């Protein structure tokens, strides 16, 4: 099983075949639909920042991240910290699809008594490695976990995902210095650079560019790619794995709300209300290839 604890080195040996690419694309469509459905069933949620991550989560959980849904706390697993914890719904769709918990849980999203809160909580959801939502803090925790793995001589990788708006937090850059100083080359981090945050366009709120240049200046091995392109994602992850001595940042240019016609690229799609009827309409559009 690609992505399982036993066979995850497979992707390190092989270039992606056309068939594997087709399977990932189909899986991403499925996870996008499940995410639109879950938030639509509730009626409101972080649809924009969830949909910009679908390709990344797909390639991680179906090709690169060592995990075992039957044993979410397996010591040898790769860790994943979704520091932009408000994108929990995209991760929940992925974890459900992978078998960490029943798919029916997706319709309990953010309702009373749920095990799937709007922001990630490691005490509630199987497969969540860190509680996140206060922007910046998850990334610091991630760098601490990577340091702990090194101390324990655990060869697992630490994957972390931050937002571009989140990168306005000073705490991100403190963690960046800590990871570079400690040569935490077991970190493969991604910035979901979707150009938008809660209040509008990131370059108008507090401009980050040149973002890849900043990470390189902070001592990180840095790449910049299209975050919706599976082949670019695969190559970047393999390149990161092959490079030692520095933590890795992959800045992904993405589109907030990618793939949902009613919200793609809209500055208002951060925490958006939409009806379940609208969700079903868009899902039919996606299935029809529109
Ligand atoms: C410390 C902190 N300040 C403010 C917020 C409120 N908040 C939630 S999401 C968000 C914007 C995040 O933007 P970005 O990281 O770009 O996320 P994305 O575009 O992927 O949704 C803000 C300000 C928060 N969760 N934590
Ligand atoms: Mg953003």
**In this predicted structure, what is the pLDDT of residue 1?**
38
Q: Which residue has the higher pLDDT, 108 or 8?
A: 108
Is the shortest distance between the CB of 85 and ligand 1 below 6 Å? no
Domain that holds residue 222: 18-287
Looking up residue 197, the CATH number of its domain turns out to be: 3.40.50.970
Examine residue 10 and state whether it is found in any structural domain, yes or no: no
Q: Which residue has the higher pLDDT, 285 or 4?
A: 285
For the chain, how many structural domains are there in total?
A: 1
Examine residue 74 and state whether it is found in any structural domain, yes or no: yes
Examine residue 38 and state whether it is found in any structural domain, yes or no: yes
pLDDT > 90 fraction of the chain, expressed in percent and rounded: 94
Give the residue, out of 81, 166, 170, 202, with the most ligand 1 atoms within 8 A of its beta carbon, to mutate for a pocket test.
166
71 close to 43: Cβ distance less than 8 angstroms? no
Examine residue 61 and state whether it is found in any structural domain, yes or no: yes
* pLDDT tens readout for residues 118-144: 999 999 999 999 999 999 999 999 999
Radius of gyration of the chain (CA): 18
Examine residue 8 and state whether it is found in any structural domain, yes or no: no
**In this predicted structure, what is the pLDDT of residue 14?**
60
Ligand 1 centre distance from Cα of residue 136 (Å): 9
Examine residue 78 and state whether it is found in any structural domain, yes or no: yes
Ligand 2 centre distance from Cα of residue 200 (Å): 9
- Is residue 7 over pLDDT 70? no
pLDDT band for 6, please (50, 70, 90 cuts).
very low
Backbone angles phi, psi at 40, to 5 degrees: -65, -35
- Is residue 10 over pLDDT 60? no
240 close to 220: Cβ distance less than 8 angstroms? no
Is the shortest distance between the CB of 257 and ligand 1 below 6 Å? no
pLDDT band for 8, please (50, 70, 90 cuts).
very low
Is the shortest distance between the CB of 200 and ligand 1 below 6 Å? no
Examine residue 169 and state whether it is found in any structural domain, yes or no: yes
Examine residue 189 and state whether it is found in any structural domain, yes or no: yes
- Is residue 9 over pLDDT 60? no
- Is residue 244 over pLDDT 80? yes
Predicted structure pTM score = 0.95
- Is residue 99 over pLDDT 80? yes
**In this predicted structure, what is the pLDDT of residue 290?**
67
Look over the chain and give the mean of its residue pLDDT values, rounded to a whole number: 95
- Is residue 69 over pLDDT 50? yes
- Is residue 5 over pLDDT 50? no
The structure tokens listed for 86 are: 């408000």
Ligand 2 centre distance from Cα of residue 165 (Å): 5
């Amino acid at each position: 099983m690609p992505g399982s604890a036993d066979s995850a080195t497979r992707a390190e040996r092989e270039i992606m075949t056309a068939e594997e690419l087709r399977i990932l694309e189909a899986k991403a469509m499925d996870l996008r639909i499940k995410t639109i459905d879950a938030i639509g069933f509730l009626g409101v949620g972080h649809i924009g920042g969830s949909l910009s991550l679908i390709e990344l989560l797909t390639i991680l959980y179906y090709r690169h991240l060592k995990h075992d849904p039957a044993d979410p706390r397996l010591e040898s697993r790769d860790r994943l910290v979704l520091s932009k914890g408000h994108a929990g719904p995209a991760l929940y769709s992925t974890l459900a699809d992978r078998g960490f918990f029943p798919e029916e849980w997706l319709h309990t999203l953010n309702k009373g008594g749920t095990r799937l809160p709007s922001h990630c909580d490691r005490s509630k959801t199987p497969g969540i490695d860190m509680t996140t939502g206060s922007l910046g803090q998850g990334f610091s925790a991630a760098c601490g976990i990577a340091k702990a793995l090194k101390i324990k001589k655990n060869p697992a990788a630490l994957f972390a995902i931050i937002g571009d708006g989140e990168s306005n937090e000073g705490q991100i850059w403190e963690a960046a210095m800590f990871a570079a100083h400690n040569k935490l080359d077991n970190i493969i981090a991604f910035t979901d650079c979707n150009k938008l945050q809660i209040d509008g366009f990131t370059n108008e709120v507090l401009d980050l560019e040149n973002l890849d240049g900043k990470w390189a200046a902070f001592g990180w091995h840095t790449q910049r790619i299209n975050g919706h392109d599976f082949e670019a994602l695969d190559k970047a992850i393999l390149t990161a794995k092959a490079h030692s001595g520095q933590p890795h940042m992959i800045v992904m240019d993405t589109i907030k709300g990618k793939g949902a016609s009613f919200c793609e690229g809209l500055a208002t799609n951060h925490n958006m209300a939409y009806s379940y009827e609208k969700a079903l309409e868009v899902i039919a559009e996606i299935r029809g290839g529109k």
